[in-house]
């Protein structure tokens, strides 16, 4: 009776802990939806993960506690060290890498489960169901793993070239059909270890082949997509292991990532299929044939400072150039000086600015910019026509009027920030290149636009000095 009581008590404690972890996961995700409560949401979700991890140790069928503890300790130390060391500008590639690790973990779980069921007590109905789910989770998780690693390499600058070749989409389709055949063999037949190895090798190749032709401008959508796939894979493997914490965490991440991917694609006015298969910004995607008239006209920082200081309204438009230069603190210092001069300042954020969803919001929050000064595209666009100066800091596609004017442009129809409608536009940019996506920005050639060349942090400091000198 005592042993039965202990088993019942352990079962009750495990289920209660998983339920509490689920509440913390969902509540944490809800709190992450607003900048003011996002930090608390991360803490809540983290506490839920700690509870779900610790309660795993009292699962009756668990063993290899030394290996589990070692893995948790090593992984925790590495995560803590990278979290402290990685700069905010490198956060997108760290997110891509962590997404990949999640997908890889789900795929590894599936591999172990497939081998266990294969060598177990026979192909019962339950064994078939477990194998089918494991195969689906393995397929999704492995593709997310290798695809995320390529996304990481692109964001890190290790792979700058975009690889495309004739009939690439048909080759990918043929590889995927072959993967489905191998998956069917794993799920419904007695299979050899070579079949298992071939399945995972082909899934890894497909993840790579899907990602290498995608241009840098689409990385926010790609990261969000692989995040959704990782969550889905984890949720499916949760069903395989009958682990409620994995089910709930995976479903929450998968559904949130799917919704975010749809929102990101909508923000670019492009279907997801176009993002994955069109080769946007690679030079063979129907790039713009519209000729660019006019020339880029430069302005020095002192004159730009005068223009802003004597205006009534200035809208800051941050982009990845601000992130690279780590200029967010200087930009906020400049904004505060303008406020002291009686200038109304706003910050305009495009949904796909930067290299991951919310990248600019995170950087501005790090600098201490009040949330009530940060506006999304829908809320700020009506302010540009009455704006004296739109200061664009390293942004490119999100302010490119080609999205409205050039029907042959790959970004035609994409909602943009209407910076070109401001009375004056000042663009802080390193040089005269086309930017990460490879698309010429018509804004730079407009009559009301002036280019202030240089590193964003250096230029921001000169603007600060210029405003102080008035």
**Residues recognised as catalytic:** 397
Are 392 and 317 within 8 A, CB to CB?
Answer: yes
Q: 455 in the Ramachandran plot: left (φ > 0), alpha (ψ -120 to 50) or beta?
A: beta
Which tokens sit at 69? 């503890």
Question: Could you tell me which residues come within 8 angstroms of residue 59 by beta carbon, excluding any fewer than 6 positions away?
Answer: 14
In angstroms, the Cα distances linking 230 to 266, 283, 435 are 21, 30, 30
Task: Give me 357's structure tokens.
Answer: 């969803």
Q: How far apart are CA 314 and CA 424, in angstroms?
A: 10
Rounded Cα distance between 189 and 123, Å, is: 9
Q: Kindly state the tokens that stand for 171.
A: 């080759």
Q: How many helices (H) and strands (E) are present in the chain, helices listed first?
A: 17, 6
Q: Cα-flanking dihedrals φ and ψ of residue 190, to 5°?
A: -70, 125
Angle at 419 between CA 413 and CA 332, to 5 degrees: 130
CA distance linking residue 65 with residue 341, whole number of Å:
63
- Kindly state the greatest CA–CA separation across the chain: 88
As given in the structure block, the two tokens for residue 182 are 């191998």
CB atoms within 10 A of CB 365: 19
Contact between 155 and 219 under an 8 Å Cβ cutoff? The reply is yes
Q: Which two tokens mark 387?
A: 């704006």
How crowded is residue 376: how many other Cβ atoms within 10 Å of its Cβ?
A: 14
């Amino acid at each position: 009776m005592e042993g039965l009581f202990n088993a019942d008590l352990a079962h009750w404690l495990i289920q209660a802990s998983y339920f509490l972890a689920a509440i913390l996961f969902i509540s944490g995700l809800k709190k992450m939806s607003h900048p003011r409560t996002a930090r608390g949401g991360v803490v809540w979700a983290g506490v839920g993960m700690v509870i779900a991890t610790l309660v795993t140790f009292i699962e009756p069928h668990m063993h290899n506690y030394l290996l589990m503890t070692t893995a948790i300790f090593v992984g925790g130390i590495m995560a803590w060290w990278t979290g402290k060391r990685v700069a905010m500008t490198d956060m997108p590639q760290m997110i891509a890498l962590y997404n990949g690790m999640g997908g890889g973990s789900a795929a590894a779980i599936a591999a172990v489960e497939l081998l266990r069921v294969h060598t177990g007590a026979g192909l019962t109905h339950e064994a078939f169901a477990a194998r089918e789910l494991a195969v689906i989770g393995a397929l999704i998780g492995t593709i997310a793993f290798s695809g995320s690693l390529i996304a990481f390499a692109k964001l890190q600058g290790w792979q700058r070239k975009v690889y495309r070749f004739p009939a690439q989409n048909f080759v990918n389709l043929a590889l995927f059909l072959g993967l489905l055949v191998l998956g069917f063999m794993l799920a419904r037949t007695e299979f050899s270890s070579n079949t298992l190895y071939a399945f995972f090798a082909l899934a890894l190749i497909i993840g790579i082949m899907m990602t290498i032709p995608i241009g840098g401008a689409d990385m926010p959508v790609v990261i969000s997509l692989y995040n959704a796939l990782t969550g889905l894979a984890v949720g499916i493997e949760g069903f395989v292991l009958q682990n409620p914490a994995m089910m709930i965490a995976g479903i929450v991440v998968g559904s949130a990532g799917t919704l975010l991917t749809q929102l990101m694609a909508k923000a670019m006015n492009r279907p997801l299929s176009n993002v994955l298969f069109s080769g946007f910004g690679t030079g063979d995607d129907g790039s713009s044939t519209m000729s660019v008239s006019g020339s880029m006209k430069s302005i020095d920082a002192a004159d730009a400072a005068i223009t802003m200081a004597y205006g009534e309204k200035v809208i800051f438009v941050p982009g990845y150039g601000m992130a690279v230069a780590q200029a967010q603190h200087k930009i906020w210092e400049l904004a505060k000086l303008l406020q002291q001069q009686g200038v109304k300042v706003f910050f305009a954020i495009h949904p796909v600015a930067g290299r991951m969803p919310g990248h600019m919001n995170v950087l501005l929050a790090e600098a201490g910019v009040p949330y009530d000064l940060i506006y999304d595209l829908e809320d700020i666009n009506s302010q540009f026509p009455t704006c004296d100066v739109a200061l664009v800091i390293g942004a490119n596609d999100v302010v490119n009027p080609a999205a409205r004017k050039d029907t042959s442009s790959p970004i035609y129809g994409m909602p943009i920030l209407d910076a070109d409608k401001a009375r004056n536009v000042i663009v802080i940019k390193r040089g005269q290149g086309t930017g990460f996506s490879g698309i010429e920005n018509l804004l730079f050639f407009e009559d009301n636009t002036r280019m202030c060349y240089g590193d964003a942090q250096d230029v921001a400091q000169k603007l600060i000095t210029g405003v102080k000198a008035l």
